Amino acid sequence: MSDRSVLDFVWTTCDALFRWAHVAGVAAWLGAVWALHFLRERTADPERAARALAHPLAPRALAFLRHAAGLAWISGMLLLFSHYYHGLLGPVLLDGALPLELQETLLKESGEPTIRAWLPGFLSLLVGWGLYELLFSFAHGPLLRALAALVACALWLALGYTLDEHFHYSARAAWTHLGAIGGSALAASLWFRVWPAQQTLLDQAQRSQPLDAAALAFVRERLTHAAYAALVVLMFMLSNHYPLLFGGHPWPWPAVAAGVMGLGALAIASADRLARPPQR
């Protein structure tokens, strides 16, 4: 067996493992997010929330959510680097009609993309998370949260359009990066913002202390974001398997995604109604 054949076998095996881990992580993550989302109304009362968090399984359930998100993100990044930034499947990152003057700077002699080619896509993941945190850190109240959700959707699509039009990404790569931007923002929010707040609530519940109302509201709000935005992330991530979605001129489809995000904004706007303690 030649060295090339061995390398192809290793890449194929790794690709299968990455895909399995990504699907498993996403399924576990979304299942946990929606399960917690459906518990929102039952835990609207701080006393009920405290009893739920004091349950011995509560730390495990929340850790499962966090670790599932981590598995989904890490495996997704491995797929992004191997398929698009390394060019495992060929030159799928950049547009096939790339001008000749750009091929020397954006493509290696082997046809793989250079750092200059894939760096804008990678940086867009960080920019997406930053914009998400900036918008929702100052959005208080149902109306502002709904408006922030719509603005976030517009900026989300603008990042993908910029990669497509100004950095010469292929339609397939642009759609995949839209999914990666959304998934990265949700995963980072869970790990770096939601989990510390959940840990505070867990500690307070274990010590039979009153729950921090601000932390409880923050966790509930971010889980609502994750539950609805994940539906759009799934559409973007799965679209690269269906040429009907990314082939030709793809931008009418993000308009459909904007409609879905609009429904999510309406759901976020109704969070205050769901958060009220049940009438006795």
* Phi then psi dihedrals of residue 91, to 5 deg: -75, 75
Give the pLDDT mean for 35-58: 76
Higher pLDDT, 8 or 196: 196
The Cα 210–Cα 204 span in angstroms is: 7
Higher pLDDT, 3 or 77: 77
What is the pLDDT at residue 253?
A: 56
What is the pLDDT at residue 192?
A: 94
Give the pLDDT mean for 138-154: 79
The CB-side HSE value for 57 (13 A sphere, CA atoms) comes to: 2
The Cα 32–Cα 66 span in angstroms is: 9
Give the pLDDT mean for 218-224: 85
Q: Are 189 and 226 in contact (CB under 8 A)?
A: yes
What is the pLDDT at residue 227?
A: 85
| pLDDT tier, 266 (very low <50, low <70, confident <90, very high otherwise) | low
Q: Which of 226, 132, 223, 234 is nearest to 179 (CA)?
A: 234
Give the predicted TM-score (pTM) of the model.
0.85
Q: Are 185 and 128 in contact (CB under 8 A)?
A: yes
To which residue do tokens 């993000």 refer?
A: 254
What is the pLDDT at residue 250?
A: 53
* Amino acid at the residue 65: L
DSSP state of 186: H
How far is residue 61 CA from its own chain's centroid? 20
SS3 at position 110: coil
| pLDDT tier, 279 (very low <50, low <70, confident <90, very high otherwise) | very low
For the chain, the domains span 9-275
∠ CA 206-207-208, nearest 5°, is 90
* Max mean pLDDT range (38-42, 46-50, 60-64): 60-64
| pLDDT tier, 158 (very low <50, low <70, confident <90, very high otherwise) | confident
Q: Are 150 and 261 in contact (CB under 8 A)?
A: yes
Higher pLDDT, 218 or 46: 218
What is the pLDDT at residue 21?
A: 94
Helix axes 252-269, 213-239, angle to 10 degrees: 160
Give the pLDDT mean for 27-34: 90
Residue 18: both structure tokens together: 């990455």
pLDDT tens readout for residues 67-86: 999 999 999 999 998 888 87
| pLDDT tier, 89 (very low <50, low <70, confident <90, very high otherwise) | low
Tell me the average pLDDT of the chain: 80
Residue 222: both structure tokens together: 């971010």
Give how far Cα 151 sits from Cα of 134, 142, 258, Å.
Answer: 11, 14, 10
To which residue do tokens 């493992």 refer?
A: 17
Query: Which ranges of 39-57 does DSSP label H, i.e. alpha helix?
Result: 46-53
Q: Which of 26, 27, 29, 10 is nearest to 82 (CA)?
A: 10
The end-to-end CA distance of the chain, in Å, is 74
* Max mean pLDDT range (54-63, 96-105, 143-152, 247-256): 54-63
